């Protein structure tokens, strides 16, 4: 049985009724703090949250303002401060940059990156992304006169939320948050993945963040990894697999 097939099988076991109580007994972490990415909000975790709670974990989904790296880190650290320890800190996309910086908090015992950036100390999102060919999806990014980025509705359906049903794509477009472009060039001061156990979901059909970039980060972080045949929003298209890896990080 391949690694991914074995993981999918274990996923099914985790989220079937009687097995959930057994999983809960093995949990070392108490709380999961979920950090959304750019062009999104906390509702992007709506399918994962019930699965984590069913497994016996408390969940906090932050609502980041997307104004700056410092601001998003501050919001995330307040959530960690208020959470029951130990904490699993999870980030999607831009949220990976945030958890890389915020993950040094003593309550955080493990990190989970979901189709996310994981920069090293001194690197920004732009520094990491610029090492790989620009994705076609970049052409659908729109910047307003104040320097805030969003993705066109067509870009959401074709690239960002590819693989979701049309009605779900419309919801993703409606709730998307705008990211201040200055945040993308702000480097992190340190990389939490260098000294904390890390787990990564690689979305093999991602058209926002290169799958090759994601795989290279797995190697750099020596992370435990699962690949899913998903577009960028893996937590919406493959919530069971994402939740199962988070539960594994909590164990």
pTM assigned to the model: 0.92
Place of tokens 């045949």: 229
Structural domain count, the chain: 1
Q: Phi/psi class of residue 213: alpha, beta or left (left: φ > 0; alpha: ψ in -120 to 50)?
A: alpha
Average pLDDT of 11-34?
69
What would the pLDDT profile of 50-62 be if each residue is shown by its tens digit? Answer: 999 999 999 999 9
Please choose, from the candidates 230, 203, 217, 193, the residue with its C-alpha nearest in 3D space to the C-alpha of residue 110.
193
What Å distances lie between residue 181 and 32, 186, 203, CA to CA? 28, 10, 24
CATH number at residue 39: 3.40.50.1820
What would the pLDDT profile of 168-186 be if each residue is shown by its tens digit? Answer: 999 999 999 999 999 999 9
Share of the chain above pLDDT 90, in %: 89
What's the whole-number average pLDDT of the chain?
93
Instruction: Identify the band that residue 109 occupies on the pLDDT scale cut at 50, 70 and 90.
Output: very high
Which residues does 147 contact at the CB level (< 8 Å), separation at least 6?
Answer: 180, 181, 182
- Cβ-contact 173, 101 below 8 angstroms: no
Per-residue pLDDT at 1: 44
What Å distances lie between residue 32 and 64, 90, 244, CA to CA? 16, 7, 12
Which residues does 86 contact at the CB level (< 8 Å), separation at least 6?
Answer: 28, 29, 30, 31, 107, 108, 109
- φ/ψ of 225, rounded to 5, equals -130, 145
- Cβ-contact 43, 161 below 8 angstroms: no
Question: 6 pLDDT exceeds 90?
Answer: no
End-to-end, the C-alpha distance of the chain in Å comes to 23
Per-residue pLDDT at 18: 41
Query: For residue 1, with 0-12 CB atoms within 10 Å meaning exposed, 13-18 middle and 19 or more buried, which class applies?
Result: exposed
Question: 200 pLDDT exceeds 90?
Answer: yes
Give the angle subtended at the CA of 225 by the CAs of 221 and 228, to the nearest 5°. Answer: 135
Per-residue pLDDT at 26: 81
Q: Determine the structural domain holding residue 232 and report its residue range.
A: 3-250
What would the pLDDT profile of 77-94 be if each residue is shown by its tens digit? Answer: 999 999 999 999 999 999
How far is CA 22 from its chain centroid? 26
The Cα–Cα gap between 32 and 49 comes to: 9
């Amino acid at each position: 049985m391949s690694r991914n097939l074995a993981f999918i099988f274990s996923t099914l076991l985790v989220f079937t009724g009687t097995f959930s109580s057994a999983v809960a007994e093995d949990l070392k972490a108490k709380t999961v703090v979920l950090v959304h990415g750019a062009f999104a909000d906390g509702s992007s975790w709506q399918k994962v949250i019930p699965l984590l709670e069913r497994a016996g974990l408390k969940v906090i989904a932050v609502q980041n303002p997307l104004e700056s790296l410092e601001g998003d880190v501050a919001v995330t650290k307040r959530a960690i401060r208020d959470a029951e320890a130990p904490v699993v800190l999870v980030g999607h996309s831009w949220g990976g940059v945030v958890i890389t910086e915020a993950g040094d908090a003593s309550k955080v015992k493990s990190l989970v990156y979901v189709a996310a950036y994981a920069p090293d100390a001194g690197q920004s999102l732009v520094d990491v992304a610029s090492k790989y060919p620009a994705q076609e999806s970049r052409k659908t990014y729109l910047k307003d006169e104040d320097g805030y980025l969003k993705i066109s509705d067509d870009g959401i359906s074709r690239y960002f939320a590819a693989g979701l049903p049309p009605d779900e794509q419309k919801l993703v477009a409606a709730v998307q948050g705008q990211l201040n472009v200055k945040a993308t060039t702000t480097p992190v001061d340190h990389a939490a993945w260098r000294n904390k156990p890390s787990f990564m979901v690689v979305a093999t059909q991602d058209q926002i963040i290169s799958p090759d970039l994601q795989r290279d980060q797995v190697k750099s972080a020596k992370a435990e990894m699962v690949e899913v045949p998903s577009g960028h929003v893996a937590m919406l298209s493959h919530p069971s697999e994402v939740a199962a890896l988070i539960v594994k990080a909590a164990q």
